[in-house]
Structure 1
Amino acid sequence: MFALAQRVILAESWRRRLIAFGGGAFGALALAPVGFLPAFFVPMTLAVWLIDGSGAESFWSGLRRAAGAGWWLGFGYFVAGLWWLGAAFLAEADRFAWALPLGVLGLPAVLAVFTALGFVFAWLLWSAGPARVFALAAGLSAAEWLRGFVLSGFPWNDFGMVLGGNLVLAQTASIWGLSGLTILSVLIFSSPALLAGEGRKTVPIAALALLAGVALFGSLRLWASPGEVRGVKIRIVQPNVPLEDFRADRRDHLLDHYISLSDRATSPQTSGVGDVTHLFWPESSFPFILSRDGAALSLLAARLQNAVLFTGAARAEGEGRKTQYFNAVQVIFGGEVKESYDKRHLVPFGEYLPFTGLLARLGISQFVAIPGGFNSGQSSRFLTAPGLPPVLPMVCYESIFPYEIADRISSAPLRPGVMLNVTNDGWFGITSGPYQHFAQSRLRTIEQGLPMIRAANTGISAILDPYGRTVAMAPLGVEAVVDGGLPKALPSTLFSKYPYVAPFILWIFVLVGAFIRPRRI
């Protein structure tokens, strides 16, 4: 171990960069769908040794070396974890294939800047001895927190998802959320680096004990059963519609496809839509404005009987050139759109184009073929429907932002009883992307103590209980329906009540730990 550490510490030039990049890429194996947790020991252990090797004759030289090592490690991690983004650029290759390198390499290069900042922060606190892992945990967790907010935020594959992707180990998120899991992940998985010191085993042993404690907490918490809301029979439709079928000339075909699936007999207990109380269709189900199509609404009223429909749908306001479009979730029954929620956190370059004037002149457009792109919704309202508790809607990747969801809940007069995530991950095919999206959405249930209904065009669709357990699920890439009851919500979790307090206290703890110096005898 000592010899390996010395090689990393003394590595220079391309060898140092290759070690950092390779270590970061290997660490991505800890994420969904592989979920090989021991892989994360590699980048975090290397991180300690790379910062050890960043000491230089001058302050600025050392800072540059630490930042460079952090950038290359982050670049490797994000390239390996986000390679599947390339599938979106090939879905309409004639329009977007040219930009594939920008997604597969450009975005990871930008995200790696935050890892570099985390290394710099840690390097500024650096010292010999066990305090190094506390400095690394303080630096990287602060950088990951920033990544969730800066430039609209993109906390995808936050380091905390190493623990957050494992159902048992994720349960402490009910206390301190994803940010707390990030601190624990860095602290635990970087501790083996200390074994290369002068026989220092106390912190690595303590880290393993901490991991065991997290696992014990999770195991005990998962013994509980929340029960079900009486009288609610849910059906989720996973239509598995190819992207090329979302065209106006396929209107009738799509409607028939959705309605036929909704009325499919799945068991003696659920023979069709007549046995369903609440029906859920995925994001942007229609290539037309449903609320302005009276014939379609009448057809839904006739064919869906008494079921209340929650569906993703584009919504329009205004007329002509002043028309504004929104990516919405709508509640439909009795042939009418009763309520709508407009997506607030839009995907840059996917649903709208930043710096529209400049980029449009360069011939660059957003993925969604709507003039001017979608507009951002202004209301954070919950949706209501007969027979259901208040519903917190999330469209697509809104489900990966823990603090936005926590703020919506804490600012509301009533606590919701269920979360709804509608999405269309068909852009990414059968890749790691939809699995990672599902894992991050599932973590929101644990943080908030709320069940989730997840309707995805190509999967993964599921009913999740407030502990993140799967009640019913349809796998990725198949046409399916998911039937089940609605689990009851838990009382507000500590994170739900105080989303910023517990992770901040934990961060202060590791920050203080970074200043602990070994006793001299």
Structure 2
Amino acid sequence: MLAGVAQAMSIAAPWDGQPQWWLQILSLAVIAWSIAATPNWKPAAMRAWAFGTAWLVGTWWWLFISMHTYGGLAAPLAAMAVLGLAAFLSLYCALAGAVIRGLHSGNRGIDALLFACVWLAAELLRVTLFTGFPWGEGGYAHVDGPLAFLAPYVGVHGITLVAAWLACLLAQLAMAMPAPRWTGWVAPGLAVAVIAAGNLVAVPADGATTQPKLTVALLQGNIPQDEKFESGSGIPLALEWYGVQLRDTKASLTVAPETAIPMLPQQLPEGYLDAVTQRFSKGDQAALVGIPLGSFRDGYTNSALAFKAGAQPYRYDKHHLVPFGEFIPPLFKWFVQMMSIPLGDFNRGSLTQPSFEWQGQRIAPNICYEDLFGEELGVRFAQPESAPTIFANVSNIGWFGDSTAIDQHLQISRMRSLEFQRPMLRATNTGATVIIDHRGRVTHSLARMTRGVLTGEVDGRTHITPYAAWVSQLGLWPFWLLALGMTGLAAWRRRVTGG
């Protein structure tokens, strides 16, 4: 369980918010060693489940803030909900532990590959089942590490696979101490050599556009979450502050966060949205603004509207909704009714919505935790001629207070920039409002939990990375086939050898 907590800390350390790639591998090595040390699959499953539960609670503890502080759910129930979600999703870890121990062969090379593939399969289950909740995947700890060079080729899931393989090799070395045979060092030595070579020679194509750099202004309103949807405080503050910034902006593109305008268009003061539309109806400035849309009859969407001269407002509707926050899973309506969270059930937008075209750039919005699903963003790269040149994430992490959720989400966005070699604009309510370049580096940032405007320049990219090319066509199937194929091979070998 201590190793599970360390795994959680590796993604965004509580002391500085930065990823700790070495801690991710080390903590995973502990569970690899612990599984191998068990007599059979049953205790292996229990140990993996305990590891996973501690890991996920340590990662998502801030869900307690959204449910208790802002949702009004009683503290014991909120704590039980966080623990229950983690315990349930850790069943995938338990299944992985059982399979890894059950198919253990004693051959170090095969066992290391088996551990990596089965552990990845557990993560893929977390990505896909019940709409998916992959927050905290181990691969995100490597956004600054020596495995980061793999991102444009195999994405975060491929990095998770390689990290798990390295962790198992490390565990095998530890189990062979104090005097492992020299052959035990061959695989780890080759792995280190290949990774070192990859960092030296892997310089992906730049793919800069021929267009001038885009000047941007990212708005961070820092509207208190417990006031954000209150008619006597947060709503008038948001309408006034964002209205002034949109009126006075001088940047080519201004981006306001998720639900920056916290009311439906028909609820807004008369002429408010018309004034925003008119402001950008001429000239060389545009804006992308988060706003809920819809009606009681047609349903609601968590959306973003973009305004520019000579065109009707562009609309993007969030596709991947947050369970409980944006849609109510079957049989759980009673649970949501215990919390005072507004706008709790939305319609989904299409997966293949077009980008917002502006000044030679194709800007692809994504809302809140949609950028956790790189394979879904990758669908937009199926046609290279219409692929995004810039990502724009609009979020409101205010639900989770001044917590590590802000830092974790930043690392997730940085990984997307690495995978697709696209800059990412992040406009948030409370942080992290930043500009990320196509190499995953934060070039401009605004202090979290403050109200302000971040200005800078961004340079779009057109190159299609290998990861974007294959994930846009095949999705996650290559990873599934690898995981299932390795598991089948290990099962067949165990049956043939009788071991």
In structure 1, what residue type is equivalent to 2:425?
Answer: I
Distance 1:508 1:288 in 2: 47
The corresponding residue for 1:313 is 291
In structure 2, what residue type is equivalent to 1:470?
Answer: V
The corresponding residue for 1:157 is 136
Contact 1:349 1:367 in 2 (8 A): no
Q: Summarize the alignment of residues 56-135 of structure 1 with structure 2, pairs less than 5 Å apart.
A: 62-92=40-70, 94-95=72-73, 97-131=75-109, 132-135=111-114
Q: What is the Cα deviation at residue 475 of structure 1? A: 3.3
In structure 2, what residue type is equivalent to 1:349?
Answer: F
Aligned with 1:47 (options 10, 27, 31)? 31
Contact 2:213 2:460 in 1 (8 A): no
How many residues are paired up? 475
The corresponding residue for 2:497 is none
In structure 2, what residue type is equivalent to 1:422?
Answer: V
Equivalent position SS for 1:477 = coil
Q: Deviations over 1:428-469 (max 9, x none)?
A: 111111111111122111112222111111111122222212
Q: Deviations over 1:266-318 (max 9, x none)?
A: xxxxxx623x111000001122113764511233256668431101100014x
Equivalent position SS for 1:393 = strand
Q: Summarize the alignment of residues 260-271 of structure 1 with structure 2, pairs less than 5 Å apart.
A: 260-261=244-245
Distance 1:143 1:200 in 2: 32
1:273 aligns with 2:255: no
The corresponding residue for 1:242 is 224
Equivalent position SS for 1:287 = coil
Distance 1:506 1:471 in 2: 37
Unmatched runs of 5 consecutive residues or more in structure 2: 495-499
Contact 1:194 1:201 in 2 (8 A): no
The corresponding residue for 1:148 is 127
Change in CA separation of 1:153 and 1:412 when aligned onto 2, cut-off 3 Å: farther
Contact 2:246 2:287 in 1 (8 A): no
In structure 2, what residue type is equivalent to 1:295?
Answer: G
Contact 1:313 1:327 in 2 (8 A): yes
Distance 2:469 2:312 in 1: 33
The corresponding residue for 1:253 is 237
Q: Summarize the alignment of residues 8-407 of structure 1 with structure 2, pairs less than 5 Å apart.
A: 21-32=1-12, 33-55=17-39, 62-92=40-70, 94-95=72-73, 97-131=75-109, 132-163=111-142, 165-166=143-144, 169-195=147-173, 196-197=175-176, 199-200=180-181, 202-203=183-184, 206-207=187-188, 209-211=190-192, 213-214=194-195, 216-218=197-199, 220-221=201-202, 229-230=211-212, 232-246=214-228, 247-250=230-233, 251-261=235-245, 273-274=249-250, 276-290=251-265, 293=268, 294-301=270-277, 306=283, 307-317=285-295, 321-333=296-308, 338-355=313-330, 358-361=331-334, 364=337, 368-370=341-343, 373-378=345-350, 380-407=352-379
Identity value in percent: 25
Change in CA separation of 1:411 and 1:75 when aligned onto 2, cut-off 3 Å: farther
Normalised to the residue count of structure 2, the TM-score between the two structures is: 0.85
Contact 1:259 1:303 in 2 (8 A): no
Distance 1:295 1:25 in 2: 51
In structure 2, what residue type is equivalent to 1:239?
Answer: G
Distance 1:65 1:216 in 2: 39
1:423 aligns with 2:395: yes
Distance 1:95 1:285 in 2: 25
Contact 1:29 1:37 in 2 (8 A): no
Moved more, 144-153 or 103-112: 103-112
Contact 2:7 2:138 in 1 (8 A): no
Equivalent position SS for 1:248 = coil
Query: Could you say what the CA RMSD is over the residues aligned between the two structures, in angstroms?
Result: 3.1
Change in CA separation of 1:182 and 1:254 when aligned onto 2, cut-off 3 Å: same
Distance 1:225 1:491 in 2: 7
Equivalent position SS for 2:327 = coil
Equivalent position SS for 1:139 = helix
Q: Summarize the alignment of residues 493-508 of structure 1 with structure 2, pairs less than 5 Å apart.
A: 493-499=465-471, 500=476, 503=479
Q: What is the Cα deviation at residue 334 of structure 1? A: 5.9
Equivalent position SS for 2:337 = coil
Equivalent position SS for 1:369 = coil
Q: Summarize the alignment of residues 475-514 of structure 1 with structure 2, pairs less than 5 Å apart.
A: 475-499=447-471, 500=476, 503=479
Contact 1:344 1:377 in 2 (8 A): yes
The corresponding residue for 1:5 is none
Change in CA separation of 1:369 and 1:408 when aligned onto 2, cut-off 3 Å: same
Contact 1:382 1:393 in 2 (8 A): no
Distance 2:401 2:212 in 1: 37
